[in-house]
Structure formats: C-alpha cells, structure tokens
Amino acid sequence: MDLELRHLRIVRMVAETGSVTKAASALGLAQPALTAQLKRIERALGGTLFERDHTGSRPTPLGELVLARAQVLLPAVQQLQEEAARLANGEPDGRRYRIGAANGPILGGLVDRLAAAEPGAVITTATSWSTGELATKVMLGRLDFALIGVCGDSRPLGDEALSWALVANDPVFVLVAESHPLAGEREVELGDFAREQWAVTPGDGCFGECFAVAASRSGFAPEAIYETDVATCLHLVRVGRAVALCQATFRRSEGMVALPLRGAPLRWRQLLGWHPETPAAQSAPAVVSHAKFSHLDAVRQSTPYSNWLARNPGYGTMP
C-alpha cells in the first residue's frame, strides 16, 4: 500500500485526540474501520505508530517521526490547493495576506494600509506571545508574514531560512503612574527605579536577560517582577503598584506616563519576516513599506517619542 495524504491525516487526528475512538468520531468513520485503516498504515510503514491502552493512544518513536513529517506536508499541500484555486479562479497572486504578530504598534496600521491599497485582498491575522511560534508557522506555510520584536541586536527565534526586514529600531521607555515622583522628568536613569516592583508580559526572546544585564550595569537587580497580561500590567502601573518597560510608541493613557531612559540602555527592533520561496516573497517589498509607514504613524501619535527622536537621531522608523 502506498502512503497517501489521507493516511497522514488519520495519524495526525489520532495523535491530536489521543484516542482511536475520538479520532474516528472526528473523521466521521466507524471505530473498527479506522482501526483497520491504522493497521494497514502501520504495515506500510513497517512498525507500530501508537501505544494503545485504557488511557488512550500515545505516539511511538516511529509515530513521532511520521507526525513531524505530517506537520510539514499537510499544511504545505493545503497551501498549494488554496493557491491553485486562486489562480484557477483568475485571482492575481499575492491577494492573500496571513499575518502573525506579537505585541506591538504596527499590526493595526498595517492591516488598514493593506486593505486600503488592495480592497479585494483577503487579510487574516493571528497573535502569539512566542516569536518562535510565529516564525515556525511561516516556515510551515500557515502564515505569510511574521511581525515580531527582538531586543538589541539579537536574531529572531525560529528558522534562519526566513528573510527578515528591519522595520524600526526603537528605544525602550519606562511606564509609571502619573503620581510617581519622577513622572514629570524629561529623561530618567534606569537606576532611578532600583527599588521598584516591575510588571512584565511573557515572551520567549532574550529581553528578560537584556533587562537583567542593563539593570546590573545600573547597579541593581529587580526586587520583584509580576509576569502577566498587558491589561494587568497597565493596571498595576496605573495604581502605582509597579512600573513597567514599554515600547517607545506607547500612546499616552489616562493615569500613566512613558519616560525615556537616558542613554537608551535597552532597544527593541521591529522585524517583518517571510519565507523567500513562497508567493509572499513577491509582495514582501510592498508589505515592508506599509509596515514602516504604519510604524511612522505610531511614532507621530506619541509626543514623548517624537520629542526624543528629535534629540536622538538614528532611531525610529527605518528609511
């Protein structure tokens, strides 16, 4: 028996549901029929794919190998079918934009600019705290573009086979309550906050390490850190329970002030990535341009950052 895509879908469904019975229900098949099909697949591959007992089905080492290949092949075939359908229907290439993004100031403006420039385009978005997850989805063909941030000069997490364009190079500011004693300062030192509690959002990059190094150079180690979602971070800052690092494009919000750090000890680079061997590569220059203009719009809406850029050339939106 030759292995077919439907066989890979069966293996994937058993792994996802953890049960042959549940997989059969999800696929609309009778459980005995799926069991027989799975046995034929195992004979074709030369070994057992799942260990099955009363607790469910778990992949064997051979099963893990097949699943790893299926995770690449199935999305790639789906993408091929979608692109072929678009061409068969006379749609020009590049009319679909699937954009994944981490927390940042660009995505909303980018979607707006793309929609205005190409009214017939289909634009979808996805978000994740993990830049590595976004890069992997681009590699697997599940996304066309990944819009992420990385600290300093570090490389983005994910496969190095992706192409990356630098959209902006931003300093990192510190966010404090309007009632904070330093709220009226034009610039502050990172060491001024040595005794503060900090609120941070999760992520898989090296920013935590960069912050720790910058704090050490300023003569302190953060005493307490609350890791939580954006809304909770902002609440803790607003009520004076913590301070937080923020992107320089942060728009003024009631009860809070973003203060520039003297000497820009921390930087945040905004990157746009795509796979060079997919149709996304053809539209990448236009998407990069839209992303840069979206970032520039965000800069213009932040008076503290605009004023800071006037005194510190070399940062901000890339030409």
Which CATH number is 29's domain given? 1.10.10.10
151 with 52, same domain: the answer is: no
Residue 273 φ then ψ, to 5°: -120, 150
> Do residues 156 and 164 lie in contact, with contact meaning Cβ atoms separated by under 8 Å?
yes
174 with 65, same domain: the answer is: no
CA atoms of 86 and 36, how far apart (whole Å):
37
184 with 249, same domain: the answer is: yes
What was the pLDDT predicted at 89? 60
44 with 180, same domain: the answer is: no
CA atoms of 239 and 227, how far apart (whole Å):
17
294 with 177, same domain: the answer is: yes
Which residues lie below 8 Å from residue 164, measured CB to CB, with a gap of 6+? 156, 271, 272, 273
Of 141, 144, 135, the C-alpha closest to 71 is: 141
49 with 157, same domain: the answer is: no
CA atoms of 269 and 205, how far apart (whole Å):
12
132 with 184, same domain: the answer is: yes
What pLDDT tens digit does each residue of the chain (319 aa) get? 778 888 889 999 999 999 888 888 888 888 888 888 899 998 988 999 999 888 888 999 998 998 888 888 888 787 777 766 666 665 555 478 999 998 888 999 999 999 999 988 889 999 988 888 898 889 888 899 999 988 888 887 665 778 999 999 999 999 999 999 999 999 999 999 999 999 888 776 666 788 888 989 999 888 778 888 888 999 999 999 999 999 999 887 789 999 999 999 999 999 999 998 888 999 999 999 999 999 999 999 988 899 999 999 889 999 8
Q: Which pTM value belongs to this model?
A: 0.69
Of 127, 12, 163, 132, the C-alpha closest to 77 is: 12
82 with 98, same domain: the answer is: no
25 with 139, same domain: the answer is: no
Domain closes at, from 23, 55, 86? 86
Residue 124 φ then ψ, to 5°: -125, 155
135 with 10, same domain: the answer is: no
218 with 74, same domain: the answer is: no
Domain closes at, from 62, 86, 110? 86
What was the pLDDT predicted at 94? 46
Q: Which domain holds residue 46?
A: 5-86
What was the pLDDT predicted at 109? 95
The residue type found at 36 is A
229 with 298, same domain: the answer is: yes
Burial class (CB in 10 A: 0-12, 13-18, 19+), 58: middle
What was the pLDDT predicted at 271? 94
Q: 97 forms bridges with which residues in the sheet?
A: 123
CA atoms of 299 and 291, how far apart (whole Å):
12
Give the CATH number for residue 144: 3.40.190.290
Domain count, the chain: 2
Domain closes at, from 60, 86, 112? 86
